[in-house]
């Protein structure tokens, strides 16, 4: 029987599922037998055994020696000591070979195949603990520092085996899935920065702590990258050995048939009028017809008892392990595609008000994230113009459809084309895709001086807060024409903070609220401030909030009355959309509302690899779950009067009931081809009746079933 090879690291059960040498006997799927207790005897007992053996030898020499020196002579003493030393050395050498590589009793290493009870190195294979106390220690000593280097190498090897084990890969995969959950539950900066700012404003210190640990940029966080990289290394190391073993198994003949395959669970035995070699060839034809891979024993093959070996070994279901490996290899390709996409890809987010557009340049994006190997100067020079945005809703306010009609040009001199962008229907320009990810309202503000001249005007986007698109608006006007104040010549700038309601209704308990997301009756509640906004100091600010530390709130005159802190304007009503009484005689008018759309430009040159890998993952998973691994053996034994006895048996790693039905069908087909119809009924003997006692059959069946379950990859 061929020795079972040692399984590589990364396998939980310590046995490769495709090892071609594990089916040499009926207990083919059983794990290797554990090491005998006598082989793992504590080394501390050996010197005692060796000493006792030496003392026994000495006593025998003293009692019946024919040495010329006699019992008390120096010659007798020398021969006794030599015998004692020789016996101890032989025992020590034998035990050293049995325990090669194991640690000695006090922790020292016996790397040369010997052990020493007192921690010294037994380089010559003899024991230093069981011989004469005056025996000199032979062999070179280990150089200083070698133990430390060996320990470090052993630690690295153990760490690598642990990292590349299947269990570690599963743990890392689970950790990666758990780490990705915050990326789905919390808003992400690379997807919707406005939602992130809203979350930060609403959740205070909790949001600050989450932001500190990169929970708003989960997929770019260092801790997520660490899990990702460790999983990548673990999968590659785990799969490398499995791929080599599986490739070797694909080109290896099926294991030889056991001596009595009919004794396997579900096996059968019958008498055939055909000679043994002819019966085996007929069985091979049936098995090949069922798409089994069949190997027939050579004509000169012999069994251990010297008789001719007439047998056939067949196996089927290699696609199961192939699908398993393909699944994991595709997973590695998926991770690689995602990693390379993050290096060579880029994405940018921009808010575009209807009638405006943007170009694919760094300064056009509100937020830009580029890969490490992407130069913003080399971005494709396309441009997009938003001509019209339309949002439709159901009667209950739920969204029905969003569409953005755009014009775009792929290059500076390229012709202009039109396209409609919808949710999940992006605009593709080269390797980049432009997605529609959000929308809202942008009122138009006009600031006039006392003479009615326009000082400042702009569309200001408002941030949606709920499903009815109640939005907060922040207006900052740095150049108002007002004279600076004080010795520091602090500029007098204006700021307005308000709430926009698309369909405005006065609620007695909550004030003005929106009852529908469409702009059927838009309204805007405003509060004004004057002072220094610190916009000219080069310090970044949040555009959606107003810092009022150096500002003073003022009253205004408008539709709600004179000298009011808060006013409500109606952009669609010319008589209710102007505020007066601002500092310096200025006036503010809100004369219209436009919708804006938020676009995300994303380029990932490896998205095709990710798509193909995803499809292959599904195919490999289906193959690994649906295909069954099974092996069948047929053996024919010649009879003295002519003909032969045919035995058939098989084993399966899973789906015992399904394999039992398949084996029954195979047995019937092979029996029909090898036994004529006029064979007496008594000639057929089911394999289950061969064992002498039911207890043996039950034990064999249960142990085989248990081993089969444990060996399932």
Distances (CA, A) of 712 to 161, 238, 251, 625: 21, 17, 21, 11
For residue 13, name the pLDDT band (cuts at 50, 70, 90): very low
More confident residue, 658 or 276: 276
pLDDT at residue 419 tops 80: yes
Q: Beta 311-316 vs 346-353: how paired, if at all? A: unpaired
More confident residue, 488 or 75: 488
What pLDDT, on a 0 to 100 scale, did the predictor assign at position 143?
Answer: 59
232 contact partners, CB below 8 Å, separation of at least 6:
332, 335, 336, 339
Give the whole-number percent of the chain exceeding pLDDT 90.
Answer: 39
3-state secondary structure 142-175: CCCCHHHHHHHHHHHHHHHHHHCCHHHHHHHHHH
What pLDDT, on a 0 to 100 scale, did the predictor assign at position 597?
Answer: 95
- Does residue 295 contact residue 313 with C-beta atoms inside 8 Å? yes
What pLDDT, on a 0 to 100 scale, did the predictor assign at position 453?
Answer: 93
What pLDDT, on a 0 to 100 scale, did the predictor assign at position 140?
Answer: 54
For residue 91, name the pLDDT band (cuts at 50, 70, 90): very low
Q: What rounded mean pLDDT belongs to the chain? A: 77
Residue 604 CA to residue 341 CA, distance in Å, equals: 5
For residue 46, name the pLDDT band (cuts at 50, 70, 90): very low
What pLDDT, on a 0 to 100 scale, did the predictor assign at position 219?
Answer: 83
Q: Which two tokens stand for residue 129?
A: 């603990």
Residue 60 CA to residue 53 CA, distance in Å, equals: 11
More confident residue, 190 or 126: 190
Which residue in this structure is represented by tokens 């997009």?
384
The domains of the chain are located at: 43-104, 160-248, 440-596
Residues 200-228, mean pLDDT to the nearest whole number: 88
pLDDT at residue 250 tops 70: yes
Which of 214-228, 609-623, 694-708 has the highest average model confidence (pLDDT)?
609-623
pLDDT at residue 118 tops 60: no
pLDDT at residue 641 tops 80: yes
What pLDDT, on a 0 to 100 scale, did the predictor assign at position 142?
Answer: 57
3-state class of 341 per DSSP?
A: helix
3-state class of 67 per DSSP?
A: coil
3-state secondary structure 525-550: EEEEEEECCCCCCCCCCCCCCCCCCC
More confident residue, 440 or 15: 440
Residues 136-143, mean pLDDT to the nearest whole number: 53
pLDDT at residue 680 tops 90: no
The phi, psi pair for 501, rounded to 5°, reads -125, 115
Out of 355-364, 614-623, 680-689, pick the least confident. 680-689
What pLDDT, on a 0 to 100 scale, did the predictor assign at position 115?
Answer: 35
What pLDDT, on a 0 to 100 scale, did the predictor assign at position 169?
Answer: 84
- Does residue 90 contact residue 106 with C-beta atoms inside 8 Å? no
Bridge partner list, 606: none
pLDDT at residue 15 tops 60: no
What pLDDT, on a 0 to 100 scale, did the predictor assign at position 194?
Answer: 72
- CA-wise closest residue to 679 among 638, 632, 644: 644
- Does residue 127 contact residue 105 with C-beta atoms inside 8 Å? no
What pLDDT, on a 0 to 100 scale, did the predictor assign at position 462?
Answer: 94
- CA-wise closest residue to 95 among 72, 117, 80, 75: 117
Out of 35-44, 230-239, 406-415, pick the least confident. 35-44
- Does residue 134 contact residue 122 with C-beta atoms inside 8 Å? no
- CA-wise closest residue to 26 among 577, 629, 703, 709: 703
679 contact partners, CB below 8 Å, separation of at least 6:
270, 271, 273
What pLDDT, on a 0 to 100 scale, did the predictor assign at position 448?
Answer: 94
Residues 625-654, mean pLDDT to the nearest whole number: 89
What pLDDT, on a 0 to 100 scale, did the predictor assign at position 76?
Answer: 39
pLDDT at residue 26 tops 60: no
Q: Which two tokens stand for residue 195?
A: 């939602």
What pLDDT, on a 0 to 100 scale, did the predictor assign at position 676?
Answer: 64
Residue 280 CA to residue 284 CA, distance in Å, equals: 6
Residues 688-713, mean pLDDT to the nearest whole number: 35
pLDDT in tens, 307-318: 899 999 999 887
More confident residue, 4 or 662: 662
pLDDT in tens, 360-407: 999 999 888 888 888 988 899 999 999 999 999 999 989 999 999 999
What pLDDT, on a 0 to 100 scale, did the predictor assign at position 682?
Answer: 40
What pLDDT, on a 0 to 100 scale, did the predictor assign at position 677?
Answer: 57
CA angle, 441 as apex, 437 and 444 as ends, to 5°? 140
pLDDT at residue 580 tops 70: yes
pLDDT in tens, 504-516: 999 888 889 999 9
More confident residue, 74 or 552: 552
Residues 272-282, mean pLDDT to the nearest whole number: 92
Give the whole-number percent of the chain exceeding pLDDT 70.
Answer: 74
Spell 370-405 as b/e; 16+ CB within 10 A means b.
bbeeeeeeebeebbbbbeebebebeeeeeeeebbbe
Which H or E element spans position 85? helix 74-98
Residues 491-500, mean pLDDT to the nearest whole number: 93
| DSSP result, 33-57 | PPPPGGGG--GGGHHHHHHHHHHHH
Q: At what angle do helices 656-674 and 276-289 cross, to 10 degrees?
A: 130
What pLDDT, on a 0 to 100 scale, did the predictor assign at position 146?
Answer: 63
More confident residue, 495 or 104: 495
Residue 314 CA to residue 652 CA, distance in Å, equals: 12
pLDDT at residue 442 tops 70: yes
More confident residue, 65 or 346: 346
More confident residue, 137 or 188: 188
- CA-wise closest residue to 687 among 653, 654, 642, 645: 645
Q: Beta 293-296 vs 463-464: how paired, if at all? A: unpaired
């Amino acid at each position: 029987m061929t020795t079972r090879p040692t399984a590589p690291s990364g396998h939980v059960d310590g046995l490769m599922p495709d090892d071609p040498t594990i089916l040499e006997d009926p207990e083919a799927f059983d794990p290797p037998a554990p090491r005998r207790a006598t082989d793992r005897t504590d080394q501390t007992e050996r010197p005692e055994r060796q000493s006792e053996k030496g003392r026994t030898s000495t006593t025998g020499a003293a009692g019946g020696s024919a040495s010329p020196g006699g019992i008390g002579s120096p010659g007798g003493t020398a021969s006794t000591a030599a015998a004692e030393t020789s016996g101890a050395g032989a025992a020590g050498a034998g035990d050293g070979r049995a325990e090669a590589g194991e640690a000695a009793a006090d922790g020292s290493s016996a790397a040369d195949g010997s052990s020493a009870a007192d921690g010294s190195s037994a380089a010559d294979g003899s024991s230093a603990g069981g011989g004469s106390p005056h025996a000199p220690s032979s062999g070179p000593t280990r150089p200083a520092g070698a133990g430390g280097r060996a320990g470090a190498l052993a630690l690295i090897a153990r760490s690598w085996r642990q990292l590349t084990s299947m269990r570690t890969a599963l743990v890392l995969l689970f950790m990666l899935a758990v780490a990705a959950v915050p990326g789905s539950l919390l808003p992400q900066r690379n997807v919707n920065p406005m939602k992130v700012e809203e979350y930060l404003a609403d959740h205070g210190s909790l949001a600050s702590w989450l932001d500190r640990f990169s929970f708003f940029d989960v997929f770019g966080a260092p801790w997520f990258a660490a899990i990702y990289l460790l999983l990548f290394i673990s999968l590659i190391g785990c799969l490398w050995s499995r791929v080599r073993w599986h490739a070797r198994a694909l080109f290896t003949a099926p294991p030889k048939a056991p001596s009595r395959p009919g004794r396997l669970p579900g096996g059968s035995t019958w008498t055939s009028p055909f000679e043994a070699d002819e019966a085996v060839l007929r069985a091979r034809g049936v098995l090949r017809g069922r798409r089994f891979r069949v190997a027939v024993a050579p004509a000169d093959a012999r069994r251990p008892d010297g008789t001719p070996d007439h047998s056939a070994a067949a196996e089927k279901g290699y696609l199961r392990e192939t699908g398993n490996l393909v699944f994991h290899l595709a997973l590695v390709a998926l991770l690689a595609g995602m990693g390379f996409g993050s290096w060579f890809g880029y994405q940018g987010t921009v808010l575009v008000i209807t009638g405006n557009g943007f170009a694919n340049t760094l300064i056009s994006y509100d937020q830009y994230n580029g890969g490490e190997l992407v130069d913003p100067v080399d971005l494709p020079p396309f441009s997009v113009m938003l001509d019209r945005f339309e949002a439709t809703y159901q009667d209950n306010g739920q969204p029905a459809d969003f569409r953005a009609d755009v014009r775009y040009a792929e290059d500076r001199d390229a012709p202009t084309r039109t396209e409609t962008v919808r949710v999940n229907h992006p605009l593709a320009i080269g390797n980049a895709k432009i997605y529609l990810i959000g929308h809202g309202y942008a009122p138009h503000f006009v600031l006039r001086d006392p003479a009615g001249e326009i000082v400042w005007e702009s569309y200001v986007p408002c941030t949606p807060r709920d499903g009815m698109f109640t939005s907060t608006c922040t207006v900052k006007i740095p150049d108002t024409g007002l004279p600076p104040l004080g010795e520091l010549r602090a500029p007098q700038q204006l700021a307005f903070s308000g709430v926009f309601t698309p369909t405005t209704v006065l609620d007695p308990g909550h004030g003005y609220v929106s009852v529908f997301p469409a702009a059927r009756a838009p309204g805007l509640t405003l509060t004004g401030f004057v002072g220094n906004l610190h916009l000219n100091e080069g310090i970044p600010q949040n555009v959606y909030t107003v810092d009022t530390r150096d500002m003073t709130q003022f009253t205004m005159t408008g539709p709600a009355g004179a000298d009011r802190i808060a006013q409500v304007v109606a952009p669609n009503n010319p008589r209710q959309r102007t505020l007066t009484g601002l500092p310096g005689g200025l006036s503010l008018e809100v004369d219209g509302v436009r919708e804006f759309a938020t676009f995300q430009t994303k380029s990932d040159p490896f998205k095709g690899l990710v798509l193909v890998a995803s499809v292959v993952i599904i195919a490999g998973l289906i193959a690994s779950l649906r295909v069954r691994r099974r092996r069948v053996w047929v053996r024919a034994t010649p009879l003295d009067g002519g003909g032969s006895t045919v035995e058939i048996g098989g084993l399966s790693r899973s789906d015992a009931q399904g394999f039992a039905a398949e084996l029954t069908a195979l047995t019937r087909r092979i029996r029909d081809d090898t036994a004529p119809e006029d064979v007496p009924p008594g000639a057929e003997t089911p394999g289950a009746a061969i064992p002498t006692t039911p207890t043996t059959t039950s034990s064999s069946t249960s142990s085989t079933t248990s081993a089969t379950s444990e060996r399932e990859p």
